[in-house]
Amino acid sequence: MTHSIFKSIKLLNPATNFYQKVNVVIQNETIINISKDLNLEKFNKDNQTIIYDCEGLTMSPGIFDMRVNIGKTENLKFTQITAAESGITSMAILPNQTPNLNNPSIIDHIKRQSEDINLPKVMVYGAATKDLNGLEISEIGLMSEMGAIGFTNGNKSIKNSLVMRRLMSYATMINRPIIQHAEDEDLSGLNQASTTSIRGEMNEGEISTRLGLIGIPACAEVIIIERDIRLAKLTGAHYHVAHVSTRDAVNAIREAKKSRLSITCDTAPPYFSLNESKLLTYNTAFKLSPPLRSEDDRLAIIEGIQDGTIDAIASDHRARSKDTKAQPFSAASVGASGIETLFSLTLDLVHKKIIDINKAISFLTINPAKILGIDSPSLEEEKVADFIVFDENEPHTIKQENLKTSPTPFDGKKIRGKILATYINGQVAFMNHIFKNKIIK
């Protein structure tokens, strides 16, 4: 019988507000013992026992990344492997990939293709509208039966008010959330009749004017949110706003929550770590959607994280090829890698004393699960052992050359906090050399 013992590890379990130094024993795929005092003698006789000296290390539930773009179906396995190395044990993928996740059979195919018990669990959002065109509602009932956990047009806004009202009404009947990329496409220059029309490229303001780039006004975000909040009130739907990036959006969501509406939202590390000044170099790694905003907007995102207006932090992972980024700014693709830096950049909020570590891990684990109606991960006796081991103080520098995906807008950033091991179903999905050296038996 195989046992793994994690000796003197700080166990952080947000689901039960538990944060103490303990010994944790894993037998096969299950946590069988959590205790301060552990008699190691009875395990020393067992040649199948592995003991790790975890002094100074922390164990927590694995990350649930609720917003991942994989681009193409063939990228799925690679993304799962990279996610495991990044501390992610579950992830939800967006429908705007190739092929679009807009019917029950494709969703069933993705779920079957991703069923590897030693890799992160893959959950799927269904396309809210057919072909993501925003005009006709997809078969959301049938997709829900196949396991779709929510409905969204991914990186496109659902802009038609009647379509959104009907979506919310149907989603309420099947108890699924509607997830919105909130952006008025007309204001953002993304709804031009001609494909050669100049499209919005960065946040509208003084810097966009100085750089000669087409601006996307911050109000393009909140206009959609305010409309949708009214529709959510009308229909009783659970409405979730993805990658919130502006002060006005945070304020609107904060007020909606006071009315006890079922409104939730997430943000991503670029929006609490960076601002539009990064684009002064014309570096296309900073060309994102939503765009990087003003410093005031960045500070508002931090305030929303602190006071609970923002519920979760997601990677918003959207890896792009070097060819599509190595172009003039206007022609370069939109998006950046996120899964490999999600953990350490969220932990940066702890090191800067913006939030405590329990809240940081909650943003990455139990909060996304609650939003999407999934069982919350919890580290308790008799529970399946899905967890990560990390050193919250391990210094390192994010380097593009060391990442499997690109581009990163955080190349060269000095950071603290490193994933040392990821366990899925009690088995090692990833372990780096630092943790391997912790074996004492």
The yes-or-no answer to whether 3-59+381-395+415-436 and 66-371 have a common fold is no
User: Number of helices (H) and strands (E), helices first, in the chain?
Assistant: 15, 20
First and final C-alpha spacing in the chain: 16
The answer to which of 193-197, 227-231, 408-412 has the lowest mean pLDDT is 193-197
User: How many Cα atoms within 13 Å fall on the side-chain side of residue 73?
Assistant: 13
Q: Write the pLDDT tens digit of every residue in 162-219.
A: 999 999 999 999 999 999 999 999 998 876 544 445 589 999 999 999 999 999 999 9
CATH code linked to domain 66-371: 3.20.20.140
Helices 295-307 and 247-258 cross at an angle (nearest 10°) of: 30
- Residue 89 in tokens: 């044990």
Task: Indicate whether 242 pLDDT > 80.
Answer: yes
Cβ within 8 Å of residue 85, ≥6 positions away:
340, 404, 419, 422, 430
Over residues 82-106, the mean pLDDT reads: 93
Q: Write the pLDDT tens digit of every residue in 335-349.
A: 999 999 999 999 999
Q: Write the pLDDT tens digit of every residue in 258-280.
A: 999 999 999 999 999 999 999 99
pTM here is 0.96
CA distances 105 to 72, 101, 112, 330, 401, Å, are 16, 9, 11, 37, 38
pLDDT cut 90: percent of the chain above it: 85
Q: Which helix (H) or strand (E) holds 247?
A: helix 247-258
- Reported as a pLDDT band with limits 50, 70 and 90, residue 116 is confident
Query: Which neighbouring-strand residues pair with 427?
Result: 424
Helices 357-364 and 342-351 cross at an angle (nearest 10°) of: 160
Q: Write the pLDDT tens digit of every residue in 22-40.
A: 999 999 899 999 999 887 7
Please check whether residue 387 is in contact with residue 365, taking contact to mean a CB–CB distance below 8 angstroms. no
The more confidently predicted of residues 201 and 439 is 201
Closest to 42 measured CA to CA, from 1, 83, 73, 14 = 1
Closest to 6 measured CA to CA, from 44, 59, 63 = 59
Task: Indicate whether 225 pLDDT > 70.
Answer: yes
pLDDT at 189: 82
Q: Which residues are catalytic?
A: 316
pLDDT at 1: 65
Domain 3-59+381-395+415-436 has CATH 2.30.40.10: yes
Q: Write the pLDDT tens digit of every residue in 386-405.
A: 999 999 999 999 999 999 99
pLDDT at 83: 98
CA separation for the pair 113, 155 (Å, rounded) = 23
- Reported as a pLDDT band with limits 50, 70 and 90, residue 46 is low
Average pLDDT, the chain: 94
pLDDT at 196: 45
pLDDT at 117: 87
Please check whether residue 224 is in contact with residue 160, taking contact to mean a CB–CB distance below 8 angstroms. no
Over residues 294-317, the mean pLDDT reads: 98
Task: Indicate whether 365 pLDDT > 80.
Answer: yes
Domain ranges within the chain, ordered by starting residue? 3-59+381-395+415-436, 66-371
Closest to 321 measured CA to CA, from 132, 72, 65 = 72
Q: Which helix (H) or strand (E) holds 251?
A: helix 247-258
Query: Which neighbouring-strand residues pair with 395?
Result: 416
Task: Indicate whether 21 pLDDT > 80.
Answer: yes
Task: Indicate whether 152 pLDDT > 60.
Answer: yes
CA separation for the pair 432, 331 (Å, rounded) = 39
pLDDT at 97: 86
CA separation for the pair 253, 272 (Å, rounded) = 17
